[in-house]
Structure formats: structure tokens, C-alpha cells
Amino acid sequence: MNIAVVGTGYVGLVSGTCFAETGNNVMCVDIDANKIDQLRAGKVPIYEPDLEILFERNQRQGRLKFTTDLQEAVDMAEVIFLALPTPPGEDGQADLKYILGVAKDLSKMVTKYTVIVDKSTVPVGTAEKVNAALLEHLDGSLFDVVSNPEFLREGVAVNDFLKPDRVVIGTDTERAEKVMRRLYEPFVRSGNPIIFMDLRSAEMTKYAANSYLATRITFMNEVANLCEQVGADVDAVRKGMGSDTRIGKRFLFPGVGYGGSCFPKDVQALAHTSNQYDYEFKILNAVMDVNTRQRFRIADKLQEAYGDDLKNKTIAMWGLAFKPNTDDIREAPALYTIDRLIEAGATIRAFDPEAMDNVKAVYGDKVIFCEDQYEALKGADCLAIMTEWSMFRTPDFNYMSSLLNEPVVFDGRNLYDVERMKEAGFKYNSIGREAIS
Ligand code: UDX
């Protein structure tokens, strides 16, 4: 099939590349000429495992092309995906200006039957707005609007896209359903479902799924905080809970709060939608409050240990990205922690295998950026772990002790066994487990 993807952000780029990988012709469109030049030159602007290999192959074989000319893409496409940003406005509502802007442009450009797909996470009712924008200059028989929310996770985006647990399609016509089924069948050959539903339900599914996952994590963060008080071990509790198949093992890891480009934004947007309908979605308000507090959990622990004033303290920090295998620092708990520590006067020596350039762009020389994880420990009074990169899981503890002024670790991701740390002579404070002091 011939496909256009408008917007070459995370979702657009991964979707476009993976559609090309299954044999479709894909044209990606962006208004940013510089970005399109880079992409044409084979440069992938984001760090995402496996993406470059697929990108290179499909570009080389001519199935993946780039343009700034929307008309060119519209002319070739049977299906147009809108993968545009929906930044939260000041009131927490997703801003639809990009999506509706492109819909207006399309209404003047489409000349043959085209399926127009909302891929971005958009509030319930957006498909109807897109439909209305398209109807401005276009006959209703020439297009259908479909909602197809994307569930990929950063860091495993390619795999998630190629082998989705499910594909959700919101549509109100059989014609569009047929096109979407044809497009997605290669991705669900193992038998995972393509679930068709109405447009509003599809839009709601995405918010409900992300908000539920954010709630689940938040619930575990509160369980962990309470474990610390009552003297229980959240690792054991997590395993005990997760073995119940009704609960399941995944997404139960406590830590320093959820971050990233989706959960914070989507929880806020769903709460806002509820308010618009005069319904108070109480759990979501609690989730946002708890997560705001949890982001500072490690900073709080540091200040409990050393006092509010950290002027004479040097803190090593491992991990800056909001999660491993990405260079994305949007809503990263590490940044909230850095802000608090800088405010308290601390010196920070940071290391992250992928995200340092992005953090440098924000903090400049307010943070000392180190070449590797051990370099960050030199002369530091303690280590704070903010992201669970695999490379941090089996460090040389003796070497760590020799570099740190004192063997002290504050672990926001529960990477190490508490007994092991005790034996290695560390003071060790993690989330929801016994603290060794
Ligand atoms: C999420 C959704 O998982 C995905 O379906 C959607 O399309 C986009 O939003 P992503 O933001 O890439 O994906 O990351 P995810 O792996 O879901 O992690 C989100 C946050 O939750 C991270 O900050 C992570 O550290 C945190 N998290 C996750 C936990 O604290 N504990 C867990 O058990 C799992």
C-alpha cells in the first residue's frame, strides 16, 4: 500500500519505518526542512534500538521517503497517518492546533478516496473535529477518519510496533475497516487481535490504558513507601502480588515516579476531559499528586540523611533518561532531582550512556558530566541511581567504594540485593526496602 505519515517525531518515524518494513511504500512528511534533509541523508534523530537498521534498509530499497511537500505525499497515499504533536496547553488539555491545521490543509489537497488516521494520542471527540475540518473543502465520500492509537514504548518501540499485543482501530465505515485490516494483518500473524470499535472508544482506550498503567505504578510506589514504614520488603510483596494472574507481574516496579512523554501528559489530559464532562475522576488526581511527590523521593532521602543544605556535598548520579534504552529526558525524575539538589547547593557529577547531550543542553555547566559511570563517583559523597540502565546492574563494588568518599548509595530503582550491599560494606537506601545505615 501507499502510505503517508505526517509528522516525523517518535511515533511517526517508528510507524513509517515499520510500515515500510512490511513492504508498503511510505512517504514521511514534516514542515521542518532541516529534519527532512537529515532523514534523507540517512540520519535518524532519535536513539531507539533497532530503528536505524530498519530505517537504513527501507530507505536504501526505496520504500521509505521523506518530503516537506504535503501535496506530494497526499497524491501518492491511500492512507495518511497523522502523527503530530499534541502538547498539553496550560490547562492540561491536549492542544490540537497541529492536527486540525493539517486536516484543514488536507481538505484542499485530497482528490481520491483516502483514509485519514489519527495516530497521535488525542482527546475523545478529536476524530469528529478532524472530520469537520476535512469537510470544509472536501466531499465526505472521498475520505474516512480513523482513530488508531499507538501503544509502543520507547526503548522497545520497533518490537512493540512489529509485534503489538493488539491493534485498536476506531472507525465507522466498512470501507476504512477493510483498508486498516489489510494494512495491519502482517503485524498480528501470531494471532493477536485487531480490535475494531467506534471512534470515541478507540480514543478513550489509549487514555484509559496509559492512565491505568500510571495508576498501577503509582499504587506500587505508595505500597513501597509504606513498606519502608512497616518494615516490609516491596520486592517480596511485588512478587507475591504479581503471581496472582489477575494482577500479573509486569509494571509493578516501584521507583522514583513515572516520567516520559506519555504518562504524565495523558493522565493530566484524561483528568481534564473528565472535568469538562463535570465528572471528577478522583483516582487520577491522586495519581498525579503522588507521582509529583514520588519524583523527589531520592532527593528527600538525601536531604533526610545530610540535611536540607547540601552545599558541601558532591553527589554522583547514574542515569538521567526517564527510563533505560532511550535518550529521552522528558519528565525524567532525574531532572526534578537535579533541580532540587542544585537548589540545595550540591555539586552533581552525572553519567548516562545516551541522554547526556540532552541534559547538557538544559543545564550547561551547572552539572558535571562524566565520561563513564565510575568517573562520576570520583570524590563524590554518595551515589544516586535514577535510571535502571543494564550496565549499572553488576558494577565493581570494590572499585566503587574506592572512588566514593564514603560507600553510600541511594537507589531509586532497586537495582541491588540489600544483603549483598550489606556484605559489600555499603550504606544503602532504596525504595520500599530495608535501609542500611
Ligand atoms: C508508555 C506506554 O507504556 C506506551 O504503551 C505508550 O504508547 C506510551 O507511554 P513509555 O513512556 O515509552 O510508554 O515508557 P514505559 O516503559 O511505559 O514507562 C513509563 C514510565 O513508567 C517510566 O518513567 C518508567 O520508569 C515508569 N515505570 C514503568 C515504573 O516506574 N515502574 C514500572 O513498573 C514500569
Over range 252-267, report the average pLDDT: 96
User: Over 90: is that where the pLDDT of 89 sits?
Assistant: no
User: Over 80: is that where the pLDDT of 91 sits?
Assistant: no
Dist. CA 331 → ligand 1 center (Å): 12
Residue nearest to ligand 1 atom 9, measured at CA: 262
Ligand 1 pocket test, candidate residues 256, 262, 328, most atoms within 8 A of CB: 262
Per-residue pLDDT tens for 391-437? 999 999 999 999 999 999 999 999 999 999 999 999 999 999 999 99
Locate the ligand 1 atom nearest the alpha carbon of residue 210 and give its number.
Answer: 2
Nearest Cα residue to 338 out of 274, 400, 256: 256
Q: Is residue 19 part of a domain?
A: yes
* Cα–Cα distance for residue pair 14/20, rounded to 1 Å: 10
pTM: 0.94
Ligand 1 pocket test, candidate residues 222, 225, 323, most atoms within 8 A of CB: 323
Instruction: Please tell me if the CB atom of residue 323 comes closer than 6 angstroms to any atom of ligand 1.
Output: yes
Tell whether 269 and 368 lie within a shared domain.
no
The string of DSSP codes covering 186-228 is: GGGTTSPPEEEE-HHHHHHHHHHHHHHHHHHHHHHHHHHHHHH
Locate the ligand 1 atom nearest the alpha carbon of residue 263 and give its number.
Answer: 9
Question: Domain count of the chain?
Answer: 3
What integer pLDDT is reported at residue 127 of this predicted model? 97
Q: Is residue 130 part of a domain?
A: yes
Tell whether 248 and 234 lie within a shared domain.
yes
Q: Is residue 435 part of a domain?
A: no
* Cα–Cα distance for residue pair 283/288, rounded to 1 Å: 9
What integer pLDDT is reported at residue 93 of this predicted model? 79
Dist. CA 123 → ligand 1 center (Å): 20
Per-residue pLDDT tens for 168-208? 999 999 999 999 999 999 999 999 999 999 999 999 999 99
Expressed as residue numbers, the domain containing 237 is 207-293
Tell whether 147 and 16 lie within a shared domain.
yes
Task: Identify the bridge partners of residue 155 per DSSP, sorted by sequence position.
Answer: none
Mean pLDDT of the chain: 97
Is 382 tagged catalytic?
A: no
User: Over 90: is that where the pLDDT of 94 sits?
Assistant: no
pLDDT interval class at 90 (50, 70, 90): confident
Tell whether 248 and 363 lie within a shared domain.
no
Q: In 295-370, where does DSSP find H-type helix?
A: 297-306, 333-343, 356-363
ipTM score of the complex?
Answer: 0.93
What integer pLDDT is reported at residue 88 of this predicted model? 78
Residue nearest to ligand 1 atom 31, measured at CA: 253
CATH of residue 217: 1.10.1040.10
User: Over 90: is that where the pLDDT of 87 sits?
Assistant: no
Over range 18-37, report the average pLDDT: 98
User: Over 80: is that where the pLDDT of 133 sits?
Assistant: yes
